[in-house]
Amino acid sequence: MTCHEQVELMQRYLDHDLSDTEERELKEHLVQCAECSGLFDRLQRLDSELSQLPKVTPAYSLVDAIMPQLAELDRCRGRLRKRRPKNRPQPLLHAASLGHAGFSPLGSWLAALP
Ligand SMILES: [Zn+2]
């Protein structure tokens, strides 16, 4: 196994995702390879430091922020549906649904409609 492949084993070791055989293989390599051994020490230190960071709670709920906009968009859809003849494709509504995720300014524009 190459050093590059050992790095993947190191990451999986830190995730507690190695079989006994893989763990033995990694440790045998670390004894022989100073470069990988140094990297593994740094990864273990980093993993330990990251696990000690305080939990971060967002100041607001993303769901709570999005739900009112979805309700507004649904109201707009209702109005547009009434104006359009039935059985016609509605590309504008499809584009507006992309705006849900913030990928399109069209969603914002539709939400701002009176
Ligand atoms: Zn190595």
Residue 61 dihedral angles phi and psi, to the nearest 5°: -85, 125
Centre of ligand 1 from the C-alpha of residue 52, in Å: 28
Centre of ligand 1 from the C-alpha of residue 25, in Å: 11
Residue-by-residue pLDDT tens, the chain, 114 positions: 899 999 999 999 999 999 999 999 999 999 999 999 999 999 999 999 999 999 888 777 888 888 888 988 988 888 777 665 656 555 555 555 554 444 555 555 555 655
Phi-psi region of 16 (alpha: psi -120 to 50; beta: other; left: phi over 0): left
Centre of ligand 1 from the C-alpha of residue 50, in Å: 24
The pTM for the full model equals 0.51
Centre of ligand 1 from the C-alpha of residue 37, in Å: 7
For residue 67, give every residue at least 6 positions away whose Cβ sits within 8 Å of its Cβ, in sequence order, or none: none
Structural domain spans, the chain: 3-51, 62-111
Centre of ligand 1 from the C-alpha of residue 91, in Å: 54
Half-sphere exposure of residue 46, counting CA atoms within 13 Å on the CB side? 10
Q: What is the DSSP letter of 53?
A: S
Centre of ligand 1 from the C-alpha of residue 26, in Å: 9
